[in-house]
Amino acid sequence: MPLVAFDDISTWRDLIDWAWTGIQDASPWLSPLLWALLLVAVMVVWVKGNGWQKVRAVVSWMQRAVKGVDQILKLADDMDFVKGQLQTNGGSTLKDDVLKVAGEVSELRKTVGGIDKKVTTAARTASAAKSTAAATQKLLIEHITTQST
Domain boundaries, the chain: 6-85, 90-149
Average pLDDT over residues 121-149: 89
Taking only the tens place, the pLDDT of each residue in 60-71 is 888 888 888 888
Using CB atoms within 10 Å of the CB of residue 34, give its burial: 0 to 12 exposed, 13 to 18 middle, 19+ buried.
Answer: buried
Distance in angstroms (rounded) separating the CA atoms of residues 19 and 5: 10
What integer best gives the mean pLDDT of the chain? 79
Radius of gyration of the CA atoms of the chain, in A = 41
What's the chain's length in residues?
149
Taking only the tens place, the pLDDT of each residue in 37-81 is 777 877 776 667 666 666 677 778 888 888 888 888 888 888 888
Task: Encode 8-23: b = buried (16+ Cβ within 10 Å), e = exposed.
Answer: ebeeeeebbebbeebb
Distance in angstroms (rounded) separating the CA atoms of residues 124 and 131: 11
Distance in angstroms (rounded) separating the CA atoms of residues 100 and 91: 9
Least Cα distance to 38 among 52, 50, 56, 53 occurs for: 56
Please determine, for residue 5, whether its predicted confidence score (pLDDT) is greater than 60.
no
